């Protein structure tokens, strides 16, 4: 067991992507569910509450400070989707750095579309207690299930 991304990618190159393993599928789904909340996009944008308090904490900012907040949001999306692709979908590299980078970005945009953009388009914003109930039930249960399956080697 390792937390090194390079060793995880090497393992996937040798044995195939992790999302094809039965014990990792619940973790795969759990991380897909966690990405929108970590990024802070709809329906999990509780901190901003645009509708009720007129852009939330960003109401006092404009120009460069506002751009930094927006850039921070975009970087979080990029990092979370890149981490997801690296953890679950990598390993089938071509050996050519430029082609591998293009494949990584295409996979990142596909993950971003399904986990952030599509979810944002089809759901309404959740209240705090709804979000807490959701995350303490489904993704937590899936992550624990995956941990148990990996522990028993299934």
Shortest CA distance to 105 belongs to which of 113, 121, 36, 17?
113
Sign of CA dihedral 85, 90, 94, 98: positive
The torsion angles phi and psi of 133, rounded to 5 degrees, stand at: -65, -45
- Structural domain including 106 reads 5-151
Q: How many domains does the chain have?
A: 1
**Residue-level pLDDT, tens digit, the chain, 154 residues:** 677 888 888 888 888 888 888 889 999 999 988 888 888 777 666 655 555 555 556 667 778 888 888 898 889 999 999 999 988 888 667 778 888 889 889 999 999 888 888 877 777 777 778 778 888 888 899 999 999 998 998 7
The pTM of this model reads 0.79
């Amino acid at each position: 067991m390792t937390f090194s991304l390079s060793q995880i990618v090497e393992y996937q190159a040798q044995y195939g992507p992790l999302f094809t393993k039965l014990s990792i599928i619940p973790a795969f789904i759990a991380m897909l569910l966690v990405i929108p909340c970590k990024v802070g996009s709809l329906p999990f944008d509780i901190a901003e509450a645009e509708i009720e308090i007129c852009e939330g904490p960003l109401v006092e900012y404009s120009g460069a400070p506002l751009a930094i907040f927006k850039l921070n949001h975009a970087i979080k999306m990029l990092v979370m989707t890149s981490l997801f692709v690296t953890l679950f979908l990598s390993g089938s590299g071509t050996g050519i750095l430029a082609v591998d980078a293009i494949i990584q970005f295409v996979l990142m945009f596909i993950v971003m579309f399904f986990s952030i953009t599509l979810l944002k388009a089809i759901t309404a914003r959740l209240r705090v207690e709804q979000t807490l109930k959701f995350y303490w039930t489904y993704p937590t249960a899936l992550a624990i299930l995956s941990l148990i399956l990996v522990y028993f080697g299934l």
